[in-house]
Amino acid sequence: MLDALIIISFIIAGAGIGFYSIELLPGSAMQQVTNIDGLRWVVASFTAIVGGMIGLSVQTTYRRIEANIREMPLEVLLTRAIGLVAGLLVANLMLAPVFLVPVPKDFTFIKPFLAVLGSVMFGFLGVTLADTHGRAFLRLLNPNSVETLMVAEGTLTPAATKILDTSCIIDGRIQNLLDTGFIEGQFLVPQFILEELQQVADASNDRKRVRGRRGLDILNQMKEDYPDRIAIHPADYDEPMTVDAKLVRLAAEINGTLLTNDFNLSKVATLQKVPVLNVNDLAQAVRLSYLPGDSFEVKILKTGKEPAQGVGYLEDGTMVVVEDSSDAIGSEMRVVVTSALQTSAGRMIFARPHASVVAS
């Protein structure tokens, strides 16, 4: 409805401009026209078409701007609006003395020109500054926010903070990543994650209890090795929420990155535009890529589906199916890659014994 209203408004405006623009013709030209009313309608029709084209362009631009505003985070929209208003106020204050300066009649157009130019320049400058320093400005408006309190006590560097979840801590690979130095910044462990770890460590199920205690041991070791980078903060929420919901909300509030192994949590956080680092995705990305003709050592552990096949595994868990190796179960042998297959369950490599093995 609004789209049609915009286009119709421009068509009517264009027709009106064309219809009455005949009055601007010189008197000598008007006298040469035999049918003034017919000329009016011809010009009005032409300008109505032009107005409709302009209206269509305006409507398309309006929809694009509307879509961008809908996707824009609330804090960005708020700070940009404040920056625009501040820029326009500064422009008016600075240009006010200019309007008091007398100018010749032939140059009166300079004042409105300077007003438009100054408003555009300072408005754009205000929006640019809001994009650069907007979050700091919002922290000044709300000094009691979670992010402000963490920054004040030195446990948070907003641009580089990673929030650890329970699965990532129990997994243990994050400790190795810290040791290698591939992940920078600070690591935040909320109090509710620590409580969940403790609940897992106190579970009646033996498997869960072992996992929980392992997670606590890893966290203690990380805290001991990197005391300046691991911070435990009592961030929590009074509303009844799941631990995953609290993690996503906290990450969104402090503009942090969620570090997890949980596939579902990654998807939920991504839908809410929260940055996510999934350790499983990283492990998948850094796996060795074997091409046909490459060779390596693998231990044959069991027989395959075919009687002559043997099956082994690489260190990253990739299954290797080797032809004519069923008699080598329990021993290592050098194999040559013939092909590789990526399935939903993981990657499989098909190989055959190396020529040196066959010769021997």
Write down the mean pLDDT value for the chain.
79
Residues 159 and 255 reside in one and the same domain: yes
- This prediction has a pTM of 0.47
Residues 338 and 258 reside in one and the same domain: no
Residues 279 and 304 reside in one and the same domain: no
Residues 95 and 53 reside in one and the same domain: no
Residues 77 and 63 reside in one and the same domain: no
CATH code, 331? 2.40.50
Neighbours of 319 (CB within 10 A): 17
Q: Are strands 257-260 and 162-164 parallel, antiparallel or unpaired?
A: parallel
Measured CA to CA, the distance from residue 174 to residue 181 in angstroms comes to 11
Residues 205 and 193 reside in one and the same domain: yes
Residues 176 and 225 reside in one and the same domain: yes
Q: How many domains does the chain have?
A: 4
Over residues 13-68, the pLDDT tens digits come to: 888 777 777 666 666 666 665 666 677 777 788 888 888 888 888 888 878 877 77
Helix runs in 206-354, H state only? 206-225, 243-254, 263-271, 279-285
| Domain interval for residue 272 | 150-285
User: Residue 311: its pLDDT value, please?
Assistant: 92
Q: Percent of the chain at pLDDT above 90?
A: 5
Residues 267 and 188 reside in one and the same domain: yes
With 0-12 / 13-18 / 19 or more C-beta atoms within 10 angstroms meaning exposed / middle / buried, residue 93 is: exposed
Residues 263 and 193 reside in one and the same domain: yes
Is residue 290 a part of any domain in this protein? Answer: no
Over residues 36-48, the pLDDT tens digits come to: 667 777 778 888 8
Cα within 13 Å of Cα(260), Cβ side: 24
Over residues 214-251, the pLDDT tens digits come to: 989 998 998 888 888 888 877 777 777 888 888 888 88
Residues 279 and 335 reside in one and the same domain: no
Over residues 287-308, the pLDDT tens digits come to: 777 888 888 889 999 888 888 8
Over residues 76-121, the pLDDT tens digits come to: 777 888 888 888 888 888 877 777 777 676 666 677 777 788 888 8
Q: Percent of the chain at pLDDT above 70?
A: 81
Residues 205 and 276 reside in one and the same domain: yes
DSSP 144-209: TSHHHHHHHTT---GGG-EEE-HHHHHH-HHHHHHHHT-S-S-EEEEHHHHHHHHHHHT-SSHHHH
Is residue 214 a part of any domain in this protein? Answer: yes
Over residues 154-207, the pLDDT tens digits come to: 555 544 688 888 888 888 888 888 888 888 778 888 888 888 888 888 888 888
